[in-house]
Amino acid sequence: MSHKIAVMAGDGIGTEVMPEGIRVLEATAERFGIALDFTHFDFASCDYYLEHGRMLPEDWRETLEPFDALFYGAVGWPEKVPDHISLWGSLLQFRRVFDQYINLRPCRSMPGIRSPLAGRAPGDIDFYVVRENTEGEYSSIGGKMFEGTDREVVVQETVMTRTGVDRVLKYAFELAAKRPRRKLTSATKSNGISITMPYWDERVQAMAEGYPDVTVDKFHIDILTANFVLHPDWFDVVVGSNLFGDILSDLGPACTGTIGVAPSANINPEGRFPSLFEPVHGSAPDIAGKGIANPIGQIWSGAMMLDHLGHEDAGKAIVDAIEAVLARGDETILTPDLQGRGTTGDLGRAIAEHVAA
C-alpha cells in the first residue's frame, strides 16, 4: 500500500529544504520497502497569492483531505504579502480545518552542534514542546473601532475551550508518562493574565490527578524562557498555549545550537484528517536563494511523518543518519549555521547517502 503525501514547499528557503526532505524520504522508502506517492502543489505560497489573490484554491480542503499526510516547507515573504495574511491564509487554515490540535516539537542536543550555552554537552537537552495548535492567543476574534482616528481601538480575544485545553494536556501527560523522567512542565502566566491562564492552571491540576506517576511543575512564561537558557536539562515535556508553545519551540532548539535542525508535527491524533509535518523555522527571506539553508529541520520532519504513518524503524533510521552525519563534523558539508561551508544540497545528500548505506 502506498502512502499519499501532499507536498507544499511554500516560500523562501522552504523551496530549498523541501527537495532535500524528499531526497531523504525516497532513500529511506527504498531501503525499507515503503511506497510513498508524492504530489506537489504550488499553493500555500506568496507567489501563488500574487497570481491568484489568495493563498489556497477554493477547493483546497477537498484536494488535501484524501492525503495520508501533508509535508510543508515554510510560509511568508513580507515584501510580497503581509505575514498575517500569508500565515492565516495557509498554515493556520490547515491546523484548524484539519483539527491538528497538537503541535509536537522535539528539542534535542545533537552530536557536533555547538550550543551557545557554555558547558552543555550533547545529551543535556532532550525535551518535547507540546503546543496547543488550534485556539488560544491565535484567535481571529476581535476587531477595530475608530480606525485611523486618535480614538482608535484594537481588540483581539484569547480563546480557551475546555475541550481544547484538556485534549492538549492529555496528550502531553500521556507523552510524559511514557518517557523515563515522567516530568511535565506547564507554561503559564496566571499572575498577569487573570482569566484564561488561571483556567489553564486549573485544568493542568485536574488532569494531573489522573497521572500520579508524572511529576508536574509550572512556570510563568517569563522565568520559563530564562530557565530554558540557564537550565535546559530541567525539562522533559513542556506544554503550552498556542503562543507560548510557539515561542518556546523556537527558543529550545536555538539553545541546542541552531533552529535549523528543529522539526515539528501538526497532528490530528484521531487520524480523521491528515497531519502536517514542517520544520519549525520559517521562510528566512534573508538567506533565501543562497543555497545555504540547513535542511535538517525538513528532513527530521520527514522522519516524524514516517513515525506517524507507522514506520518507526524508518523514522529512526533518518534520525540516526542525521546524527551520524553531524557527528562526522565535516565542514565541507555542514551548512554555515553549523559552522560549515557546505550547501543545503551537500548536507541533504550526505544524509540520504547515509540512510541508503
Q: Rule CB under 6 A: which residues touch ligand GGG?
A: 74-76, 87, 246, 278-279, 281-283
- Is residue 222 annotated as a catalytic residue, yes or no? yes
Nearest in space to 72 (alpha carbons), one of 13, 131, 137? 13
Tell me the closest approach of the beta carbon of residue 178 to ligand GGG, in angstroms.
25
- Is residue 246 annotated as a catalytic residue, yes or no? yes
Q: Choose, from 246, 307, 337, 346, the residue flagged as catalytic.
A: 246
CA distance 194 to 154: 20
Tell me the closest approach of the beta carbon of residue 55 to ligand GGG, in angstroms.
12
What is the enclosing helix (H) or strand (E) of 129? strand 126-132
- Is residue 138 annotated as a catalytic residue, yes or no? yes
Tell me the closest approach of the beta carbon of residue 278 to ligand GGG, in angstroms.
4
Tell me the closest approach of the beta carbon of residue 336 to ligand GGG, in angstroms.
20
CA distance 327 to 324: 5
Nearer to ligand GGG, 73 or 315 (CB): 73
Degrees, nearest 5: CA angle 304-355-345:
85
- Is residue 189 annotated as a catalytic residue, yes or no? yes
Contact 112, 37 (CB under 8 A): no
CA distance 68 to 62: 13
Nearer to ligand GGG, 100 or 343 (CB): 100
Nearest in space to 24 (alpha carbons), one of 279, 256, 341, 329? 279
Closest residue to ligand GGG in the complex (CB): 74
> Which residues have C-beta within 8 Å of that of residue 227, sequence separation ≥ 6?
219, 234, 235
Nearer to ligand GGG, 76 or 240 (CB): 76
Q: How far is CA 217 from CA 86, 208, 214, 249, 253, in A?
A: 36, 10, 10, 18, 21
Tell me the closest approach of the beta carbon of residue 20 to ligand GGG, in angstroms.
14
* Beta-strand relationship, 142-145 and 215-220: unpaired
- Is residue 101 annotated as a catalytic residue, yes or no? no
The catalytic residues are: 138, 189, 222, 246, 250
